[in-house]
Amino acid sequence: MSKPPPPQRSFLFVAKAALITIAASVAFLYVIGSMGGKKPPGSAVDEGASPAGTAQQSAAPASDSDAACATSAKIAANVKDLAKGEVAAMTIAAKPEPLADYAFDGPDGAPVSLGSFKGKTTLLNIWATWCVPCRAEMPALDRLQEAFAGQNFHIVAVNVDTTRLERAKAFLAENGVKSLTYYSDPKANIFYEMKQSGKALGLPTTLLIGPDGCQIGLMNGPAAWDSEEAKALIARALETPAN
């Protein structure tokens, strides 16, 4: 005698299962939405799979940066092949970015910021008297500034000695440095800020900055700034038209 066939799954049961599935999906979407697109803890949600609106918002700053650094981008493209020889350690930015408005003191002790030099091609150098390679660079930087006197170029050499502050000026005077303007940061905040942002690994640290205030080049370590290679790099930067 054969057994009777099992009862058919009722239509009501199937409908209930479908409703439960839909409710769970809606709840999950609500959680994701309420987190503002953040990845839920312990989940494997792909951070790159954000909604179209979110992706457009994250891309906007890049476009703003491109526009703000258009001049520096042109200069970087023109000087990248000249980072060689005595200035081979300078890394030329593939995509220049705006720099922070670093603050320090001017020759009279009054506050100055990096933004004060917008409109000029600037070489920002961080140094200290206790740094032997820095001491060797100062006369060379002085000669570089002298070589481009009267042009739209300024070397901002910021001393970060935090004790015996008179030593820096005395050192420059003893070594005949006369073309460099004296800048200082007795708290060395500029160095620590650059270190935290990954720009400064130690001293000396030098940045080549475009007239728009964007970073063109970065060098950690010393260079012969009065060399022909250094002069050629700066000359090419100054020859690049802004428009």
Q: Where are the domains of the chain?
A: 11-50, 60-239
C-alpha distances out from residue 59 to 39, 66, 67, Å = 19, 11, 13
Q: 115 phi and psi, to 5 degrees?
A: -60, -20
Residue 234 has pLDDT above 50, yes or no: yes
Length of the chain: 243
Q: Tell me what pLDDT residue 25 has.
A: 40
Q: Tell me what pLDDT residue 95 has.
A: 97
Q: List 112's β-bridge partners, or say none.
A: 104
pLDDT in tens, 134-165: 999 999 999 999 999 999 999 999 999 999 99
Q: Tell me what pLDDT residue 58 has.
A: 41
Residue 55 has pLDDT above 80, yes or no: no
Contact 226, 102 (CB under 8 A): no
Which one of 3.40.50.1360, 3.40.30.10, 3.40.50.300, 1.10.3720.10 gives the CATH number of domain 60-239? 3.40.30.10
pLDDT in tens, 85-124: 999 999 999 999 999 999 999 999 999 999 999 999 999 9
C-alpha distances out from residue 211 to 54, 96, 121, 158, 224, Å = 33, 12, 5, 19, 23
Q: How far apart are CA 92 and CA 227, in angstroms?
A: 18
Residue 238 has pLDDT above 60, yes or no: yes
Report the predicted TM-score, pTM, of the whole model to 2 decimal places: 0.75
DSSP tag of 175? T
Q: Per residue, what are the HEC states of 69-111?
A: CHHHHHHHHHHHHHCCHHHCCCEECCCCCECCCCEEECCCCCE
Q: How far apart are CA 50 and CA 36, in angstroms?
A: 10
Average pLDDT, integer, range 189-203 = 98
Count CB atoms within 10 A of the CB of residue 45. 13
C-alpha distances out from residue 31 to 4, 34, 42, 194, Å = 47, 5, 14, 39
Q: Tell me what pLDDT residue 45 has.
A: 29
